[in-house]
Structure 1
Amino acid sequence: MTGRFDEVVHAPHRLRICAFLDATSSTEFSVLRDLLGVADSVLSKHLKVLQEAGYLTITKPTGRGRVKTWVRLTAEGRRAYAGHTAALRSLLDNPTVSHE
Protein backbone atom coordinates (compact mmCIF):
# COMPACT_ATOMS: atom_id res chain seq x y z
CA MET A 1 0.00 0.00 0.00
CA THR A 2 1.31 3.40 -0.87
CA GLY A 3 -0.02 6.30 1.08
CA ARG A 4 0.33 10.00 1.27
CA PHE A 5 1.37 12.32 4.03
CA ASP A 6 -1.53 13.93 5.83
CA GLU A 7 -0.79 17.25 7.54
CA VAL A 8 -3.76 16.84 9.88
CA VAL A 9 -2.56 13.46 11.15
CA HIS A 10 1.14 14.36 11.10
CA ALA A 11 1.30 16.49 14.28
CA PRO A 12 2.81 14.28 17.03
CA HIS A 13 -0.17 14.37 19.43
CA ARG A 14 -2.67 13.81 16.61
CA LEU A 15 -0.59 10.94 15.24
CA ARG A 16 -0.62 9.31 18.69
CA ILE A 17 -4.37 9.90 19.02
CA CYS A 18 -5.00 8.25 15.64
CA ALA A 19 -2.68 5.34 16.44
CA PHE A 20 -4.48 4.65 19.71
CA LEU A 21 -7.96 5.03 18.24
CA ASP A 22 -7.06 2.84 15.26
CA ALA A 23 -6.52 -0.04 17.70
CA THR A 24 -9.87 0.49 19.46
CA SER A 25 -13.51 0.97 18.57
CA SER A 26 -13.71 4.07 20.79
CA THR A 27 -12.17 5.48 23.93
CA GLU A 28 -12.99 7.92 26.66
CA PHE A 29 -11.54 11.44 26.64
CA SER A 30 -9.69 10.99 29.94
CA VAL A 31 -7.90 7.89 28.64
CA LEU A 32 -6.49 9.88 25.71
CA ARG A 33 -5.59 12.80 27.99
CA ASP A 34 -3.68 10.51 30.34
CA LEU A 35 -2.01 8.66 27.46
CA LEU A 36 -0.68 11.92 26.02
CA GLY A 37 0.01 13.51 29.39
CA VAL A 38 -1.59 16.79 28.37
CA ALA A 39 -4.19 19.18 29.78
CA ASP A 40 -7.85 18.86 28.77
CA SER A 41 -7.59 22.03 26.68
CA VAL A 42 -4.64 20.70 24.67
CA LEU A 43 -6.40 17.45 23.90
CA SER A 44 -9.61 19.29 23.04
CA LYS A 45 -7.80 21.42 20.45
CA HIS A 46 -6.26 18.37 18.76
CA LEU A 47 -9.57 16.51 18.77
CA LYS A 48 -11.31 19.54 17.24
CA VAL A 49 -8.81 19.61 14.35
CA LEU A 50 -9.35 15.89 13.70
CA GLN A 51 -13.11 16.25 14.01
CA GLU A 52 -13.25 19.19 11.60
CA ALA A 53 -11.29 17.10 9.08
CA GLY A 54 -13.94 14.37 9.41
CA TYR A 55 -11.45 11.97 10.98
CA LEU A 56 -13.22 11.35 14.27
CA THR A 57 -16.51 11.67 16.07
CA ILE A 58 -17.06 12.86 19.61
CA THR A 59 -20.13 11.78 21.56
CA LYS A 60 -21.39 12.46 25.07
CA PRO A 61 -24.01 9.82 25.80
CA THR A 62 -26.35 10.78 28.60
CA GLY A 63 -27.45 8.41 31.26
CA ARG A 64 -26.89 7.88 34.93
CA GLY A 65 -24.02 9.55 36.67
CA ARG A 66 -21.25 11.62 35.18
CA VAL A 67 -21.37 12.31 31.45
CA LYS A 68 -18.28 10.96 29.70
CA THR A 69 -16.93 12.08 26.36
CA TRP A 70 -16.21 9.27 23.89
CA VAL A 71 -13.99 9.54 20.82
CA ARG A 72 -13.77 7.25 17.79
CA LEU A 73 -12.10 7.33 14.40
CA THR A 74 -14.37 7.51 11.37
CA ALA A 75 -13.76 5.35 8.32
CA GLU A 76 -12.21 8.42 6.67
CA GLY A 77 -9.96 8.90 9.70
CA ARG A 78 -8.80 5.28 9.55
CA ARG A 79 -7.99 5.69 5.85
CA ALA A 80 -6.08 8.93 6.48
CA TYR A 81 -4.10 7.34 9.32
CA ALA A 82 -3.35 4.22 7.25
CA GLY A 83 -2.23 6.33 4.28
CA HIS A 84 -0.03 8.51 6.46
CA THR A 85 1.66 5.57 8.17
CA ALA A 86 2.14 3.87 4.78
CA ALA A 87 3.90 7.01 3.51
CA LEU A 88 6.11 7.07 6.61
CA ARG A 89 6.99 3.38 6.17
CA SER A 90 7.80 3.99 2.52
CA LEU A 91 10.07 6.84 3.48
CA LEU A 92 11.87 4.63 6.00
CA ASP A 93 12.20 1.78 3.52
CA ASN A 94 13.31 4.02 0.62
CA PRO A 95 14.99 7.12 2.07
CA THR A 96 16.38 8.30 -1.29
CA VAL A 97 13.04 8.23 -3.16
CA SER A 98 10.93 11.40 -3.41
CA HIS A 99 7.65 11.04 -1.47
CA GLU A 100 5.72 14.12 -2.58
Structure 2
Amino acid sequence: MASATAGDAAEDFDIGRIDEVIHGRVRLGIMAYLSGVGTADFNELKTRLQATDGNLSVHLRKLEEAGFVEVTKSFQGRKPLTRATMTEAGRDAFVAYLDAMSGLVGAR
Protein backbone atom coordinates (compact mmCIF):
# COMPACT_ATOMS: atom_id res chain seq x y z
CA MET A 1 0.00 0.00 0.00
CA ALA A 2 2.87 2.40 0.77
CA SER A 3 4.29 1.98 -2.74
CA ALA A 4 0.91 2.86 -4.29
CA THR A 5 0.88 6.08 -2.26
CA ALA A 6 4.41 6.90 -3.35
CA GLY A 7 3.48 6.20 -6.97
CA ASP A 8 0.41 8.41 -6.74
CA ALA A 9 2.50 11.19 -5.23
CA ALA A 10 5.05 10.92 -8.04
CA GLU A 11 2.27 11.15 -10.63
CA ASP A 12 0.88 14.28 -8.93
CA PHE A 13 4.28 15.99 -9.02
CA ASP A 14 4.02 18.21 -12.10
CA ILE A 15 6.32 21.24 -12.06
CA GLY A 16 4.74 22.32 -15.38
CA ARG A 17 1.62 23.45 -13.51
CA ILE A 18 3.52 26.37 -11.96
CA ASP A 19 2.62 29.65 -13.68
CA GLU A 20 5.92 31.28 -14.68
CA VAL A 21 4.35 34.74 -14.80
CA ILE A 22 3.41 34.59 -11.13
CA HIS A 23 6.35 32.51 -9.88
CA GLY A 24 8.98 35.27 -9.77
CA ARG A 25 9.58 36.55 -6.23
CA VAL A 26 8.42 40.13 -6.84
CA ARG A 27 5.46 39.10 -9.02
CA LEU A 28 4.41 36.54 -6.42
CA GLY A 29 4.66 39.26 -3.78
CA ILE A 30 2.52 41.61 -5.86
CA MET A 31 -0.14 38.94 -6.35
CA ALA A 32 -0.10 37.89 -2.70
CA TYR A 33 -0.37 41.47 -1.49
CA LEU A 34 -3.12 42.40 -3.94
CA SER A 35 -5.06 39.25 -3.06
CA GLY A 36 -5.42 40.67 0.45
CA VAL A 37 -5.95 44.37 -0.22
CA GLY A 38 -7.50 44.38 -3.71
CA THR A 39 -5.85 47.61 -4.88
CA ALA A 40 -2.57 49.24 -3.92
CA ASP A 41 -0.68 52.27 -5.11
CA PHE A 42 2.79 52.04 -6.56
CA ASN A 43 4.60 53.43 -3.51
CA GLU A 44 2.73 51.08 -1.16
CA LEU A 45 3.78 48.08 -3.28
CA LYS A 46 7.34 49.38 -3.56
CA THR A 47 7.62 49.69 0.22
CA ARG A 48 5.96 46.36 1.03
CA LEU A 49 8.04 44.45 -1.52
CA GLN A 50 11.27 46.38 -0.94
CA ALA A 51 11.58 46.90 -4.69
CA THR A 52 13.07 49.69 -6.76
CA ASP A 53 10.90 51.82 -9.05
CA GLY A 54 12.29 50.19 -12.19
CA ASN A 55 12.07 46.65 -10.86
CA LEU A 56 8.48 47.05 -9.68
CA SER A 57 7.48 48.68 -12.98
CA VAL A 58 8.83 45.76 -14.99
CA HIS A 59 7.04 43.18 -12.86
CA LEU A 60 3.75 45.08 -12.85
CA ARG A 61 3.94 45.37 -16.64
CA LYS A 62 4.47 41.63 -16.99
CA LEU A 63 1.45 40.89 -14.77
CA GLU A 64 -0.58 43.49 -16.67
CA GLU A 65 0.35 41.96 -20.04
CA ALA A 66 -0.83 38.57 -18.74
CA GLY A 67 -4.15 40.14 -17.74
CA PHE A 68 -3.58 39.41 -14.05
CA VAL A 69 -3.32 43.02 -12.88
CA GLU A 70 -4.91 46.25 -14.08
CA VAL A 71 -2.71 49.32 -13.74
CA THR A 72 -4.35 52.75 -13.73
CA LYS A 73 -2.56 56.08 -13.81
CA SER A 74 -4.12 59.30 -12.63
CA PHE A 75 -3.24 62.40 -10.68
CA GLN A 76 -3.86 63.19 -7.05
CA GLY A 77 -3.59 66.93 -7.04
CA ARG A 78 -0.48 67.50 -9.13
CA LYS A 79 1.20 64.21 -8.23
CA PRO A 80 0.96 61.18 -10.50
CA LEU A 81 -0.75 58.19 -8.89
CA THR A 82 -0.28 54.64 -10.20
CA ARG A 83 -2.56 51.98 -8.75
CA ALA A 84 -2.60 48.23 -9.32
CA THR A 85 -5.67 46.04 -8.94
CA MET A 86 -5.84 42.27 -9.28
CA THR A 87 -8.23 41.24 -12.05
CA GLU A 88 -10.65 38.31 -11.87
CA ALA A 89 -8.33 36.41 -14.24
CA GLY A 90 -5.46 37.28 -11.90
CA ARG A 91 -7.35 35.98 -8.89
CA ASP A 92 -8.14 32.73 -10.74
CA ALA A 93 -4.50 32.37 -11.83
CA PHE A 94 -3.25 33.06 -8.30
CA VAL A 95 -5.57 30.43 -6.80
CA ALA A 96 -4.45 27.95 -9.49
CA TYR A 97 -0.80 28.82 -8.68
CA LEU A 98 -1.37 28.20 -4.98
CA ASP A 99 -3.14 24.92 -5.74
CA ALA A 100 -0.25 23.82 -7.95
CA MET A 101 2.31 24.69 -5.27
CA SER A 102 0.23 22.85 -2.67
CA GLY A 103 0.12 19.84 -4.99
CA LEU A 104 3.90 19.87 -5.33
CA VAL A 105 4.43 20.06 -1.60
CA GLY A 106 1.71 17.49 -0.87
CA ALA A 107 3.08 15.17 -3.55
CA ARG A 108 6.24 14.45 -1.54
Band of TM-score, shorter chain: 0.7 to 0.9
Query: Which structure carries more helix by proportion?
Result: 2
Alignment of 1:52-71 (within 5 A): 52-71=65-84
Deviation at 1:66, TM superposition (A): 1.6
Query: Which structure carries more strand by proportion?
Result: 2
May I ask how many residue pairs the two structures share in their alignment? 92
Aligned equivalents of 1:79, 1:93: Cα separation in 2: 21
One-letter amino acid of the structure 2 residue matched with residue 84 of structure 1: Y
Aligned equivalents of 1:38, 1:69: Cα separation in 2: 15
Counterpart of 1:8 in structure 2 is 21
- The unaligned stretches of length 5 or more in structure 1 are 96-100
What SS does the aligned partner of 1:67 have? strand
Deviation at 1:68, TM superposition (A): 1.1
Distance 1:63 1:11, change over 3 A: closer
One-letter amino acid of the structure 2 residue matched with residue 69 of structure 1: T
Counterpart of 1:88 in structure 2 is 101
Aligned equivalents of 1:62, 1:16: Cα separation in 2: 25
Alignment of 1:34-73 (within 5 A): 34-73=47-86
Distance 1:68 1:80, change over 3 A: same
TM-score norm. by structure 1 comes to 0.85
Deviation at 1:64, TM superposition (A): 2.4
Deviation at 1:63, TM superposition (A): 4.7
TM-align CA RMSD: 1.2
- The unaligned stretches of length 5 or more in structure 2 are 1-16
Counting aligned pairs with the same residue, the percent is: 34
Aligned equivalents of 1:73, 1:88: Cα separation in 2: 20
Structure label with greater radius of gyration: 2
More relative contact order in 1 or in 2 (CA 8 Å, sep 6+)? Answer: 1
Aligned partner (choices 8, 22, 40) of residue 27 of structure 1: 40
